[in-house]
Chains A and B, each alone.
Chain A
Amino acid sequence: MEVTSTTNGRALTLALRGELDHHAARETVTAIERALEAGLPMHLVLDFGGVTFMDSSGIAVAMRARRRMAALGGAVALVNVPAQAKKVFDAAGIAVNTEGNT
């Protein structure tokens, strides 16, 4: 999983690319937490546009990012979520913005 960071003031966008499964989840969480510690953003955008597959490991990654951002007093948006990953988020009742509709 490749994580690319873009900062705009106190807003941080992390673009995820690759397959987000249990195998990739730990390195993804580490990359997100490092970026949060470095940038201390008020708004985090997780861009799933490059995610080619996601299972429930992605739910745990998103929930963990939400908890970390809540601790910073900020919020998280999940954007560009492809149909397959959206179905997984839907199963957990997590609201997302779908691909091409940010």
Chain B
Amino acid sequence: MKVKPNNYIALEFLSRSANEGFARAAVAAFAAQLDPTLDELGDVKTAVSEAVTNAIVHAYPDELGKISLRASIFDGNVLELVIRDWGCGIPDVEKAREPLYTTGGEERSGMGFTIMESFMDTLVVRSKPDKGTVVTMKRRIAQRSGRK
């Protein structure tokens, strides 16, 4: 049975790089209700930035396309982020997840998936060539004493 979130937001935007900052800010504002530390918020924003940038750079290299972002909160202070595109897909997901691997040239470091993986608790990447990619990440925000 699929567990329903306690709260969620859903966004859809064009694959313009100007929207990277918008996506980060929107998720940060939504996640604020979990009362994260600055460190936790920084990790979440960085992971969002990497996933959205991947979609902009790699999913739609020669055109503009649609990106959707859904942020959900589940029991236990778990924040789930799902970033989806309908672009060219990743032919070899395992290869793409290797540190320093990039097809983005000198402007990219090849560290995007490595950072998503190390900054979030879980990372699942599903992709089909010419169909698109879905990146699902989860991070539990610590509940500290004195918080509701």
Query: How many residues on chain B are close to A (CB under 8 Å)?
Result: 26
A91 nearest CB across to chain B (Å): 5
Main secondary structure of the interface of B (DSSP, over half): helix
Query: How many residues on chain A are close to B (CB under 8 Å)?
Result: 21
Contact call B109/A21, Cβ cutoff below 8 A: no
- Is there a chain B Cβ closer than 8 Å to A83's Cβ? yes
B residues less than 8 Å from A29 (CB atoms): 107
Contact call A83/B42, Cβ cutoff below 8 A: yes
Contact of B24 among A26, A53, A59, A88 (CB under 8 A): A53
Considering the complex, which residues of chain A in the window 1-36 have a beta carbon less than 8 Å from any beta carbon of chain B? 19, 21-23, 25-26, 29
Q: Chain B residues in contact with chain A, CB under 8 A?
A: 17-18, 20-21, 24, 38-39, 42-43, 45-46, 49-50, 53, 56-57, 106-109, 111-112, 114-115, 118-119
Q: Chain A residues in contact with chain B, CB under 8 A?
A: 19, 21-23, 25-26, 29, 53, 55-57, 59-60, 63-64, 83-84, 87-88, 91-92
11 residue pairs from A and B, CB less than 8 Å apart? A22-B56, A22-B107, A23-B18, A25-B107, A55-B53, A56-B109, A57-B108, A60-B108, A63-B109, A84-B46, A91-B111
